[in-house]
Amino acid sequence: MTLNIEDLHQIAKIEQDTQQGFQHRINVCVAAGCLSCGSGVVKDALAREVGKRGLDNWCQVKGVGCLGLCTAGPLIALEVGGRFYQGVKVADVADIVEALGASPVDRLLYPDDSAFFQRQLRIVTENCGRIDPERIEEYIAESGYEGLYLALTQMTRQEVLGQVTESGLRGRGGAGFPTGLKWTTVAKTVDSTKFVICNADEGDPGAFMDRSVLESDPHRVIEGMAVAGYATGASQGFIYVRAEYPLAVKRVRMALSQAERMGILGNNIFNTNFSFNIKVRLGAGAFVCGEETALIASIEGRMGRPRPRPPFPAEYGLWEHPTLINNVETFANIPPIIRHGGKWFAGIGTEKSKGTKVFALAGKIVNTGLIEVPMGMPLREIVYEIGGGIPEGKRFKAVQTGGPSGGCIPQQFLDMPVDYDSLMQVGSIMGSGGMIVMDESSCMVDVAKFFMEFCMSESCGKCAPCRVGTRQIYDILCKITAGGATTEDLATLEDLCDLVKHTSLCGLGQSAPNPVLTTLNYFRDEYLAHIHDKKCLAGACKTAKEVS
Amino acid sequence: MSHHPKGKLRTDLNPSRLLTFKIDDRDVSAREDESILEVARQNGIAIPTLCHLDGLSERGACRLCIVEVRGVAKLLPSCVTFPRQDMEVITNSERVVNYRKKILELLFTERNHVCSVCVSNGHCELQNLSVELGVTHVRYNYLYPEHAVDASHSRFSVDHNRCVLCLRCVRVCDEIEGAHTWDIMGRGITSKVITDLNQPWGTAETCTGCGKCVQVCPTGALSEKGKSVAEMIKRRQFLPYLQMMRGRQEESWQK
Amino acid sequence: MAKIGLATTWLDGCSGCHMSFLDLDEGLIALADKVEIVYGPLVDYKTFPEHADVTLVEGAVSSEADKKNILNIRARSGVLVSFGDCAVTANVPGMRNRYPVEAVLQRGYVENAEPPLAGSGEAAFQVVPQLCPHARPVHEFVHVDVFLPGCPPPPEAIFYLLQELLAGRIPDMRGRTRFGA
């Protein structure tokens, strides 16, 4: 079966008409966060209640992807009226259905004027919380696969590369490498076999952006990958996703088979001579497999360990063929870039960081959840307005961005715009988008220790500096938090951080010291208090003195 | 004007283009498929190595052979970095020398390298490196991990206390002997070389007993049974010889 | 010229480094004019002096007594030399580090006792110095000025070290000896 644009529009029209046919539509978040606090049963109860009252043709109940405000789950969105109900339980179901068309259930209402929903700009997550991720028709109804159609039928490969380059999109996986440049490089290689890989091996503690996108809108990623395949000359794609994300895996597989059934993946897509297939590969949970050469080794069935670069995967990748690797969020940005043009995308964000960024807000913050904001939004706005500030009236201390490879940003930089270069300047990185907020009760040495323990146990062990260095750094941090360290230990700590950063083989080791280095830079007094006074300023560590 | 046929510009089709560059301010010439390490050694410039061994594939993992390249911020492992025309390589700056020492010290802390009672005392690459790099003590705390000795093989034994995870044994067994008895398990500091699927070496069905792993091991981790302290001298002459003969065979197949 | 005061001592070691010192042979006679041995197993002083210009420490820090001693020695020494592999790396004494102290005592004082020890060995454990969980190098406890690795360090290296110190220089021991020598 091959589709053309009329078919796509027809599917979209039928879907839209069906949706319009309902007076009321209740969207229940069924992404991992809300599911884990019972949104599945709430959704079933709502459907039963609607059926019991014979309102099946009047009100639609459907599961949708992430609504973002994970802290208030299970969340429900009323599409007519645009209100949200939070913390919904099965006992609330009758009241909710009763209130349809009348005044809403006040006790469940999430405040209308909340900055959480008002201040976001949704591109990657535009469909999250609006469409049923398990139905391709709903994606198509939101202009889904139109970008792929446009690219295949009305644009040359060069034009697609041109649009992506013009958009200024940078890799959302961490390093921020210009996506257009990467695509162009792979497109230039002469091999007749090339691959496209989607890196969905999200492993940073506290990060769940990619997971949410895959659970909420998997087709968007598939579309982005297919466009990439066309632009670079690849006909086979792989989605490398962690086995710890079973729901994401299930929805991606479902989406792939739906797309294949419709002929959106497979041979001669949209009656062109372009063919593209995607397979899912499961990661076994090693953080280092997010590193591209380790990821490739893992797909090939070898041990997930990085190798020195160059040669880069763009030239010498999967099974020695040129390979394009992008992160989930990067691919998710592609369909709107093709539909609206690179110039449109380049109009959003800052001079050097274009578009939006999805962040997973976690830690000591009122609104834990998933947000998408334009690049360049001040950190203060993210933490205090969208994030709702620090709970229990405590004082803000730092934000950790970029996970174990990132750094801690102290209070004095709260007004800094959040973009690739500003974060780099203060010693952190954008990373994949984890944002962990810490308040006065967090000990920064303990935080550094936590991340170093993570890096130590996730180090693959191939190169000596990372394998042994992370362990030595961790030991010293333990000694400091226990109140047993000396000033010499502090010097050794700094010396080891420098060594591991500059001599490790891959990005894991090279960035592993970042949490230590930034906390040493901005919170040195906390280190010194542990060492000289045997005291934890935040009261989080039990030092030797306090134990005795 | 020299004329380049179109294909000749493609380096992958013509791997033997020649170039000149500098190592430690000395002009050297190289084929572009030779590593910086190879060219340095041809010119008598010593760069310390541990995981590298002539005749085996490169891993770029021990990081002892790192060098500086003028204009490049990152330090590059010379065993897997290829020269470019007019590149300026510095092999012995204070910075890299210090890093090498520290990496070596980390290796000493990682396992239990008790040189004085080791079969390889006096013939050990790790020990020699400490002399070469002037390491007279280790600044980091020793980890004193618990590691076993597997003496189940009839002729050889493996003492994990002395292993530096260079994986020469894994490579020689796979690439030269073709048995792939050795591999590695675990991750990070808990990594360990294993025979078969972590079975005692003596019961490893794939092991041919050729002993190549023992001969390429840089330390006393792999040794022949019956050798006492300082008696284990490794013989590696077979490796370049095998490599050369196989290279010739391959060439004759290609003809 | 006044003689310099040289102290030598051993912690957890085998005395092999001191034997190597004695192997200086006629070198000892040459040194005798310039060096006064103010403390150590080779002479008869019972307590460590208030000050020693140079102290050679053999052996790892293995027991609570060693810890106390080394702090005292450091405070009273000018140049402190880590003398031999046990002091520099913990070497052979460190081989017990992967076993619990109780198991080490059990093996040493009960299982391997000749003739076999009657009873649980508790009585014997009372009289040996209280072992630390690990035997560790000297420089993990106090600042060390010069490292002289080797098991034992060759007499030539010891002689060179003392000559340099006598000349008022901190010797560079690189290339003169090595771990396990």
Torsion sign (Cα): A288, A293, A299, A301? negative
> In which band, very low, low, confident or very high, does the pLDDT at B15 lie, cut at 50, 70 and 90?
low
Set of chain B residues whose Cβ sits within 8 Å of the Cβ of A457? 187-188
B115, C178: Cβ pair inside 8 Å?
yes
Assigned CATH class of A16-64+76-109? alpha beta
Count of pairs with CB atoms under 8 A, one residue in B, one in C: 72
Instruction: Note whether A183 and A161 are within 8 A (CB).
Output: yes
A503, B143: Cβ pair inside 8 Å?
no
Right CATH number for B112-239 from 3.40.50.300, 3.40.50.460, 3.40.30.10, 3.30.70.20? 3.30.70.20
Q: Is 70 exceeded by the pLDDT of residue B8?
A: no
Minimum distance, in Å, between the CA of residue B105 and any CA atom of chain A: 10
> Which among B134, B141, B147 has CB closest to C140?
B141
A461, B189: Cβ pair inside 8 Å?
yes
Does 3.40.50.11540 match the CATH number of domain A136-346?
Answer: yes
Mean pLDDT of chain C: 93
B-interface mutation test, from C89, C101, C132, most B Cβ less than 10 A away: C89
What local confidence, expressed as pLDDT, does residue B148 receive?
93
Set of chain B residues whose Cβ sits within 8 Å of the Cβ of A459? 187-189
> Which among C92, C151, C175 has CB closest to B131?
C175
C147, B108: Cβ pair inside 8 Å?
no
What local confidence, expressed as pLDDT, does residue A80 receive?
79
CA dist A453 and A449 (Å) reads 6
B116, C144: Cβ pair inside 8 Å?
no
Other CB atoms within 10 A of residue A103 CB: 6
The residue with tokens 């592993």 is A512
Set of chain B residues whose Cβ sits within 8 Å of the Cβ of C175? 131, 134
Instruction: Note whether A213 and A330 are within 8 A (CB).
Output: no
Q: Which of A442, A523, A538, A534 is nearest to A482 (CA)?
A: A534
Query: Residue B249 burial (CB < 10 Å; 0-12/13-18/19+)?
Result: exposed
Question: What confidence tens digit (pLDDT) does each residue in B122-166 have?
Answer: 999 999 999 999 999 999 999 999 999 999 999 999 999 999 999
Phi, psi (rounded to 5 degrees) for A547: -70, -40
Nearest residue in chain B measured CA to CA from C135: B144
Does 1.20.1440.230 match the CATH number of domain A444-547?
Answer: yes
> In which band, very low, low, confident or very high, does the pLDDT at B3 lie, cut at 50, 70 and 90?
very low
Q: Is 80 exceeded by the pLDDT of residue B70?
A: yes
Minimum distance, in Å, between the CA of residue B104 and any CA atom of chain A: 9
What local confidence, expressed as pLDDT, does residue A490 receive?
97
Chain A, 245 to 304: residues with Cβ < 8 Å from chain B are: 286, 288, 303
Compute the residue count for chain C.
181
% chain B with pLDDT above 70: 91
What local confidence, expressed as pLDDT, does residue C1 receive?
59
The domains of chain C are located at: 4-96+133-166
Token pair, residue C104, equals 């080490």
Chain-centroid distance of CA A35 in Å reads 18
Right CATH number for C4-96+133-166 from 3.40.50.460, 3.40.50.700, 3.40.720.10, 3.40.50.1970? 3.40.50.700
Determine the Cα angle at A432 with ends A477 and A540, to 5°: 30
Residue ranges of chain C whose pLDDT lies below 50:
none
Q: Is 50 exceeded by the pLDDT of residue B7?
A: no
B115, C179: Cβ pair inside 8 Å?
yes
Set of chain A residues whose Cβ sits within 8 Å of the Cβ of B190? 461
Chain A, 381 to 400: residues with Cβ < 8 Å from chain B are: none
Fold of B16-92: Ubiquitin-like (UB roll) (3.10.20)
DSSP state of A510: H
What separation in angstroms does the CA of C168 have from each of A174, A240, C162?
Answer: 55, 65, 10
What local confidence, expressed as pLDDT, does residue C122 receive?
77
Minimum distance, in Å, between the CA of residue C45 and any CA atom of chain B: 30
List the pLDDT tens digit at each of the 548 positions of chain A. Answer: 578 888 899 999 999 999 889 999 999 999 989 999 999 999 999 999 999 999 989 999 999 999 989 888 899 999 877 889 999 999 999 999 998 888 888 899 988 777 888 889 999 999 999 999 999 999 999 999 999 999 999 999 999 999 999 999 999 988 899 999 999 999 999 999 999 999 999 988 889 999 999 999 999 999 999 999 999 999 999 999 999 999 999 999 999 999 999 999 999 999 999 999 999 999 998 999 999 999 999 999 999 999 999 999 999 999 999 999 999 999 999 999 999 999 999 999 999 999 999 999 999 999 999 999 999 999 999 999 999 999 999 999 999 999 899 999 999 999 999 999 999 999 999 988 999 999 999 999 999 999 999 999 999 999 999 999 999 999 999 999 999 999 999 999 999 999 999 999 999 999 999 999 999 999 999 999 999 999 999 999 987 665 54
Token pair, residue A14, equals 């039928």
CA dist A359 and A366 (Å) reads 15
Partner residues linked to A239 by β-bridges: A198, A280
What local confidence, expressed as pLDDT, does residue A332 receive?
98
Examine residue C152 and say whether the peptide bond preceding it is cis (omega within 30 degrees of 0).
yes
| H or E element that contains A158 | helix A157-167
Assigned CATH class of A356-439? alpha beta
> Which among B113, B137, B141 has CB closest to C88?
B137
What local confidence, expressed as pLDDT, does residue C58 receive?
98
The domains of chain A are located at: 16-64+76-109, 136-346, 356-439, 444-547
What local confidence, expressed as pLDDT, does residue B253 receive?
64
A464, B107: Cβ pair inside 8 Å?
yes
Minimum distance, in Å, between the CA of residue C40 and any CA atom of chain B: 24
B142, C89: Cβ pair inside 8 Å?
yes
CA dist A284 and A203 (Å) reads 11
Set of chain B residues whose Cβ sits within 8 Å of the Cβ of C91? 114-116
pTM above 0.90, yes or no: yes
A461, B187: Cβ pair inside 8 Å?
yes
B-interface mutation test, from A459, A467, A474, A494, most B Cβ less than 10 A away: A467
Mean pLDDT of chain B: 92
What local confidence, expressed as pLDDT, does residue A117 receive?
86
Phi, psi (rounded to 5 degrees) for B183: -155, -170
Torsion sign (Cα): B157, B162, B163, B169? negative
What local confidence, expressed as pLDDT, does residue B9 receive?
47
Q: Are strands A434-439 and A356-363 parallel, antiparallel or unpaired?
A: parallel
Which chains form contacts with chain B, at 3 or more CB pairs under 8 Å? Answer: A, C
Set of chain C residues whose Cβ sits within 8 Å of the Cβ of B146? 98
Query: Residue A269 burial (CB < 10 Å; 0-12/13-18/19+)?
Result: buried
B134, C174: Cβ pair inside 8 Å?
yes
What local confidence, expressed as pLDDT, does residue A546 receive?
58
> Which among A456, A462, A495 has CB closest to B61?
A462
